Structure 1
Amino acid sequence: MIEFLERFEPTTQALFATLFTWGVTALGASLVFFFKTINKKVFDTMLGFAAGVMIAASFWSLISPGLALAEEMGYTPWIVAAAGFMGGGLFLFVVDKSLPHMHLGLAPKEKEGPKTSWQRSILLVLAITLHNIPEGLAVGVAFGAVAAGIESATLAGAIVLAVGIGIQNFPEGAAVSIPLRREGMGRGKAFLYGQASGVVEPIAGVLGAMLVLSMRSILPFALCFAAGAMIYVVAEELIPEAQSNKNSDYATMGVMIGFTIMMVLDVALG
């Protein structure tokens, strides 16, 4: 895999990586062809797992190298990390308030953002799409950091991040398609909606890589920005949804397992 990606420029590497993460989203959405419903305990465990992966990736793949890079570049590491992290969270907060969407498991009257007459299915897809913006951005920034010649950034680490994001995208694809199928939507249409939530990742990935290549000086900030956006998604959406059905033990174990798997991948292979 490393030898294959080394043949291409960073933006193409980021494109391939995020096409993979989109593909895993589609794979998760394809469960709709086999299941009309999913056990709530399994579903909440899957959401917790996705949250655990994102938490681990935020630190080991983004914040940690961001701190090291800030120090290498002569910045004050904690200032860069804090500003980037909070900036990512505030960015998602603004997007969350500006884009109409609806979280899983909520009634139509509980949709968020500006008032709209859009259908529930569209609002559900938009909610998951919000997750995928920082994920694609994080992968693109990671590949851009390698090309920028950052000592603490490696191609293996960027690949591990993409694999981790891909793993947690599997339950997200299912989280859109299966509920839509349960509500009466056809399997094919439910699958299309489920995989559509991942379309934004290749776009955000390429933009992230292009950004850090053209503005290397902001790379430490960009790494922490992506981490802040991911943690915002975890705290604002994934964990509350995983806990909403009173399966807190299963959701918590999902978080622990996801965190451990991503930590092992990043530390051992990255």
Structure 2
Amino acid sequence: MLIDLLKDINPVMLALIATCFTWFMTALGAGLVFFFKNINKKVLDVMLGFAAGVMIAASFWSLLNPAIEMAEASGIPGWIPAITGFLAGGFFLQFVDMILPHLHLGLPREDAEGIKTNWKRSVLLVLSITLHNIPEGLAVGVAFGAVASGSSSASIAGAIALAIGMGIQNFPEGAAVSIPLRREGLSRTKSFMYGQASGVVEPIAGIIGASAVLTMGSALPYALAFAAGAMIFVVVEELIPESQSSGNSHMATAGVMLGFALMMLLDVALG
């Protein structure tokens, strides 16, 4: 079976392969710019909501729940690493959010966050989505690294399910970068290149996550919860507010529900 073959591959290599897939899905979504110059705001809000739903479900089913089970199996109260790691992940992303120059979709250049720079609006938009992708790549890397721990709470099938979920929600994120850039006057090629570039950070974060887990040992539950906290920060700080900002709250919320349901299906069915 394929799963048995994958067990013999180094988890860092598996994390790299998986996050290259999620990067590819970002590029695939960005490629829509070659067919469309505009994207309906309602569609965009549903896509952002969908991405948020996937990340919320993945945070619990693929990260927090295994972290709690691993901690309890080792004799530690499950809530200790879950809360500690979760809050640490959120604080880490808050720190990155405060220093990384970036601009949310639909906002004017003067509303850019992070350290003040003279960077172009297009670069700031790409960095905003790049910020989303840091915890996604980290989560996939940690999930594959956890498999090497031998814990019954971690499985290659579960890690694959997480990678598939992240890849699916990266498709609309790629389009959410490239198509607005095209609308602002960039060429289709430049818009695509900027769009796919927002996903480059995922393989990097994936390798870091998997490598860190292999050297942490008993700190694995904290690492899983850390990745969950980072993802929830992105969802609450960026994805949900952006999806709800244009009066399409009902459709955006439906996107969240669908995304959550799909990720839950993938994790429960495959994991």
TM-score range, shorter chain: over 0.9
Gaps of 5+ in 2: none
- Corresponding residue for 1:189? 190
Letter of the 1:156 counterpart: A
User: Given residue 229 of structure 2, which amino acid in structure 1 is its aligned partner?
Assistant: G
1:1-270 equivalent positions in 2, closer than 5 A: 1-270=2-271
Distance 2:135 2:41 in 1: 27
1:97, CA displacement in angstroms?
0.3
User: 2:164, 2:4 → 1: CA distance?
Assistant: 16
- Structure 2 Cα separation of the partners of residues 148 and 120 of structure 1: 43
| DSSP-derived class of the 2:86 partner | helix
Counterpart AA for 1:251: A
Q: CA deviation at 1:151?
A: 1.1
C-alpha distance in structure 2 between counterparts of 1:43 and 1:21, whole Å: 19
List alignment gaps of at least 5 residues for structure 1: none
SS at match of 1:85: helix
Calculate percent identity across the aligned residue pairs: 69
Structure 2 distance, partners of 1:33, 1:235, is: 31
> Deviations 1:186-234 (Å, cap 9, x if unpaired)?
0000000000000010011011111111111110000000000000000
Q: How many residues align?
A: 270
Question: How far off its partner does 1:101 sit?
Answer: 0.6
Runs of 4+ in 1 over 2 A off after TM superposition: 1-7
Shift of 1:140: 0.5
TM-score with structure 2 length normalisation? 0.98
CA shift for structure 1 position 3? 4.5
Alpha-carbon shift at residue 268 of structure 1 (Å): 1.4
Between 161-170 and 5-14, report the one with greater CA deviation.
5-14
**Displacement of 1:74 after TM fit?**
1.9
Whole-Å separation in 2 of the counterparts to 1:208 and 1:67? 18
Inter-partner Cα distance in structure 2 for 1:243 and 1:197: 22
Distance 2:95 2:28 in 1: 30
What is the root-mean-square deviation in Å for CA atoms of aligned residues?
0.8
What is the distance in 2 between the residues matched to 1:56 and 1:2? 23
Shift of 1:154: 0.6
Alignment TM-score, normalising by the size of structure 1: 0.98
CA distance in structure 2 between the partners assigned to 1:81 and 1:8 by the alignment: 29
Q: For 1:150 and 1:68, how far apart are their aligned partners in 2?
A: 9
Cα distance, 1:6 vs structure 2: 3.0
Q: CA deviation at 1:7?
A: 3.9
Shift of residue 52 of structure 1? 0.3
Q: For residues 153-186 of structure 1, give each alpha carbon's deviation from its aligned partner in whole angstroms, at most 9, with x where no partner exists.
A: 0100000000000011011101110000001100
Given residue 194 of structure 1, which amino acid in structure 2 is its aligned partner? G
Cα deviation for residue 11 of structure 1 reads 0.4
